[in-house]
Amino acid sequence: MIALRPFSKKDFKQLMDWIPSESFMVQWSGSSFSFPLTPRQLKHYIRYANEDGASTYAFSVIDENEQLIGHISLAHIDYYHKTGRIGRVLLGEKYRGKGLCSHMFEKVLAFGFEELGLHRISLGVFDFNERAIQSYERIGFTREGLLRDVRLVDGQYWSLIEMSMLESEWAQRDVHQKSS
């Protein structure tokens, strides 16, 4: 159905085309990039990514025809404490609403828990993004709290919901899926 492969320079143009505005970019990346997104920013982003022991793994999401359909990252990896953070989640507009987000998360969570041996994986989602919040809860993430008014975008403050999943919850979830 879908697969993850390392995000590379050949994917830059498509990702830049998917980011139409500053507010959309803040939703996608927090404050990691400035608008408009440029190849220089993306080169810096992947400079040390996707190597053994990296603190960031940036992925392109591709379909069965090798078409780029999205992007996701697992970053802020702390190998001592066994933690990581999912971010920069994006599906191209024509691929949204088809259940592909769940598949992207399955792949990146399996990578984090099973390949990297992480104990905890977190994410942040702006509180107005109800569709994403519901999707993350269906996947198995737990709400941990609310960071109020963390970003000022277009004259409005945005609040961020923190969510996480532990390796035991991933394993338990995996058992339930295999038995159903």
Q: Which residue has the tokens 């404050």?
A: 31
Encode pLDDT of 54-92 as tens digits.
Answer: 999 999 999 999 999 999 999 999 999 999 999 999 999
* pTM exceeding the 0.85 threshold for the entire prediction: yes
Spell out the domains of the chain, with CATH numbers in brackets.
Answer: 2-179 (3.40.630.30)
| Distance, CA of 117 to CA of 157 (rounded, Å) | 36
- The count of other CB atoms within 10 Å of the CB of residue 135 is 17
- Predicted confidence (pLDDT) at residue 33 exceeds the cutoff of 60: yes
Encode pLDDT of 123-145 as tens digits.
Answer: 999 999 999 999 999 999 999 99
Classify residue 140 as left (phi > 0), alpha (psi -120 to 50) or beta: left
- HSE (side-chain half, CA atoms, 13 Å) at 83: 8
| Positive or negative: CA dihedral 57, 42, 159, 138 | negative
- Predicted confidence (pLDDT) at residue 99 exceeds the cutoff of 90: no
